[in-house]
Amino acid sequence: MRALLQRVRRAEVSVNGAVVGRTGPGLVVFVCAMRGDSESEAARLAAKVARLRIFADARGRMNRALSDIGGGALVISQFTLAADTARGNRPGFSSAAPPQEGRALYEAFARQLAAQGVPVETGIFGADMQVALVNDGPVTIWLDTDG
């Protein structure tokens, strides 16, 4: 599985003009399930996101995790993280999990992250979503269970 994390002051996701999820200080987590992924990758990725120390401590050093700051996570499905741009100018997405598997793994990731004690809100899988966020830092981290 792949995830792109953005540390945020606040964020929200809307579908058809209605807000469906939001967070205050914390993370926006864009998630993509890849072909061959399983719930074990979702659990591993969720644990890593929950423990990742990318929030400032009293000295301004990145030394605190989501739980340390009482932060939440807005989890958004994003199959385009599977983009293959090696050939031509049009990305291919064949390495992304098929939609039904992708949905199940996205939902498993969100459940696993919540099980780590992180307040989680989500977008709507497969929907055309608009994400508004205020980056903090900016801090953007790429995670991949293959790496």
* Active site amino acids: 78-80
Give the Cα separation of 65 and 71 in Å (integer): 8
Instruction: Write the DSSP string, 100-118.
Output: HHHHHHHHHHHHHHHHTT-
- Give CA 119 to chain center in angstroms: 13
How far apart are alpha carbons 73 and 121 in whole angstroms?
6
